[in-house]
Amino acid sequence: MSDSSKPYNPVRYLTEDSRPLYLHYGEDFLTHKFPAGTRVVYANKPMKPIDNQGAAIRYALNHPEGDVKPLYAQLKPGMKVTIAIDDISVPLPPMKTPDIRQKVLEIVLQMLADHGVEDVEMVVALALHRRMTGPEIKRMVGPEIFNEYYPERLYNMDAEDEDNMVFLGETDHGEKVQIVRRAAESDLLIYVNVNYVPMNGGFKSIGTGLSGYQSIQYHHNPQTILKSDSYMDPKNSALYSSNERMGRMINEKLNVFHIETALNNKMYDDQLQFLADPEDDWSTADELKFKSMQWTLKQLPRAAKRNFFHKVPADYGLVGVFAGATEAVHEKTLEKCWQQHAVPVEGQSDVVVWGIPFESPYNVNSIMNPLLVRVMALGYFFNMYRGKPIVKKGGTLIITHPCYDQFDPDHHPSYIEFFNRCLPETRCSKTLGKRWEKEFAENPNYIEMFRRGNAYHGVHPFYMWYWAENGQHHVGRVIVVGAENDHVPARMGWLSAKTMDEALEMAAEHHGSDHDLTVMHHPPFVIADVR
């Protein structure tokens, strides 16, 4: 439900008089006047947030979903409790403080203390993501919790620490289930989740979040990705099904209590909220603000722009909090997610345009390298649908990004080798996986950088490549507008256009002049309910 009193239609058709649209272009914006008749899909208006977050959290803990006791009824002195927490990859951008995880943890920790539970540890559920830095964890949980618990009782998990990872067994599909030892040996495992996209949460929280390469390889592979008819639609996602099998097995062996939170899509504070609105609804002041912002960004060096963007937090509000059994909780969370993000769209398009922003789940406080640009386009944005993809089979994607050949050597060291050594030889996921995945996953340099530094696991670039597998197989071509070099698009297998007009002409050459054209106005992100 929109918080506006006027009915708001997020799907618009441009006219001759329509304003130019702005598109994200890395750390900048491009503007382009699209032809009349272009369909533009905007995000829904942000849902009204819950005012009293504390009350909502307490209510959820005391009135759990599914066949489980309220949290307080499960607590007794002397028990061992582990709290797993979603990492920095959600939400994007990071939310204004206090982060919702802090609010949940403050209440949960108080409840544990009130019931005499002293053996409590909190673990950041990284899976194969990079370790969060101390200041990042402090920002997420708040200074009080951080000062009291970090680093002995609040820490990053280490999926490569063999002594502290255990195998719980195998699913009926032969998938090995590996999990953090402390979680497996606890009397109660509480998972504090931030549900930013429907892909996350539910069985995936523990099934992926607390496991390592030995488990994740069963679903993060080209075959499973190809069988996922949108990651955002758990019912049709082979990726989620694998997590579900693992999750069910975990639930049989452990006492698990999920706390899921659903956020609205208010990425921008009131000053910049116009960026989420249709350009044709902007006031003159909004237009001036946008033009001055665009001009200022153009003057700044890229590093300064990147710094600026990473420092602007999102103004997300809480729209739902549910606790209890995995499936029952997740069902409720998904309802809220769909309510906020799903936009009904009539029919697919031959050509779809989206601007690629400065940030993906894997480069918070870092660089959006070429592999992350690709995963954003063909992995995340492509999968933002339910029913059918917004682009027709064999259709054309037009994306805007500078495609700079830049990598963060501390966060993405193995990406550099993957991009420069493996990709020039082949773009085939299966071949890449067969020839090099194991070598990268077991490379001692990358493992130690993952364990002791802030590097993503050595295998991560492969997952990024696989992640785009269903998008890659579906679309006919990708045209990138505004690439500042030739070799990055070429290595990705993309066509390159200097301007949007040129890209639209290239698309028209293929699809004819009467092709359907849709612009998906991400972010805030939209999930197209394509009928």
Can residue 487 be called a binding residue for other proteins (CB under 8 A)? no
Stretch in the footprint of other proteins (CB under 8 A) among 58-66, 181-189, 364-372, 404-412:
404-412
**In whole angstroms, how close is the CB of 362 to other proteins at the nearest point?**
18
**Which stretch of DSSP H or E encloses residue 306?**
helix 302-311
**In whole angstroms, how close is the CB of 488 to other proteins at the nearest point?**
15
Percentage helix, strand, coil for the chain under 3-state DSSP, each rounded to 5: 40, 20, 40
Per CB under 8 A, the list member of 410, 425, 484, 502 interacting with other proteins is: 410
Coil/strand/helix, residue 429:
helix
Can residue 134 be called a binding residue for other proteins (CB under 8 A)? no
Separation of alpha carbons 48 and 244, rounded Å: 31
Amino acid at the residue 82: T
Can residue 37 be called a binding residue for other proteins (CB under 8 A)? no
Q: What is the DSSP letter of 435?
A: I
Separation of alpha carbons 396 and 391, rounded Å: 7
Separation of alpha carbons 145 and 105, rounded Å: 8
Can residue 448 be called a binding residue for other proteins (CB under 8 A)? yes
Separation of alpha carbons 122 and 81, rounded Å: 9
Stretch in the footprint of other proteins (CB under 8 A) among 71-79, 239-247, 292-300, 450-458:
450-458
| Contact map string, positions 14 to 33, toward other proteins, x by CB under 8 A | --------------------
Closer Cβ to other proteins, 287 or 448, answer by number: 448
Closer Cβ to other proteins, 449 or 488, answer by number: 449
> What is the Cα Rg of the chain in Å?
23
Per CB under 8 A, the list member of 442, 484, 502, 505 interacting with other proteins is: 442
Can residue 118 be called a binding residue for other proteins (CB under 8 A)? no
Closer Cβ to other proteins, 2 or 431, answer by number: 431
Amino acid at the residue 181: R
Can residue 444 be called a binding residue for other proteins (CB under 8 A)? yes
**In whole angstroms, how close is the CB of 420 to other proteins at the nearest point?**
8
Of 8, 5, 23, 6, nearest in space to 343 by CA? 8
Can residue 249 be called a binding residue for other proteins (CB under 8 A)? no
Per CB under 8 A, the list member of 69, 235, 452, 531 interacting with other proteins is: 452
Q: How far is CA 329 from CA 88, 90, 212, 260, in A?
A: 22, 19, 25, 7
Of 354, 338, 509, nearest in space to 39 by CA? 354
Closer Cβ to other proteins, 446 or 494, answer by number: 446
Of 282, 335, 468, nearest in space to 389 by CA? 468
Stretch in the footprint of other proteins (CB under 8 A) among 230-238, 293-301, 344-352, 438-446:
438-446
**In whole angstroms, how close is the CB of 369 to other proteins at the nearest point?**
12
Amino acid at the residue 104: V
Stretch in the footprint of other proteins (CB under 8 A) among 244-252, 326-334, 388-396, 403-411:
403-411
Q: How far is CA 178 from CA 1, 164, 322, in A?
A: 40, 10, 26
Coil/strand/helix, residue 260:
strand
Per CB under 8 A, the list member of 148, 252, 439, 502 interacting with other proteins is: 439
Per CB under 8 A, the list member of 447, 497, 506, 530 interacting with other proteins is: 447
Per CB under 8 A, the list member of 222, 413, 461, 471 interacting with other proteins is: 413
**In whole angstroms, how close is the CB of 492 to other proteins at the nearest point?**
19
Question: Counting Cβ atoms within 10 Å, is residue 31 exposed (0-12), middle (13-18) or buried (19+)?
Answer: middle
Neighbours of 328 (CB within 10 A): 16
Strand order in the sheet with 39-41: 11-13, 39-41, 517-520, 349-355, 391-400, 477-481, 495-497
Per CB under 8 A, the list member of 34, 446, 465, 494 interacting with other proteins is: 446
Coil/strand/helix, residue 70:
coil
Separation of alpha carbons 400 and 483, rounded Å: 8
**In whole angstroms, how close is the CB of 448 to other proteins at the nearest point?**
5
Per CB under 8 A, the list member of 451, 477, 510, 515 interacting with other proteins is: 451
Stretch in the footprint of other proteins (CB under 8 A) among 349-357, 396-404, 408-416, 463-471:
408-416
Per CB under 8 A, the list member of 153, 302, 438, 515 interacting with other proteins is: 438
**Residues at the site binding other proteins, with contacts judged by CB under 8 A:** 407, 409-410, 413, 416-417, 420, 434-439, 442-449, 451-453
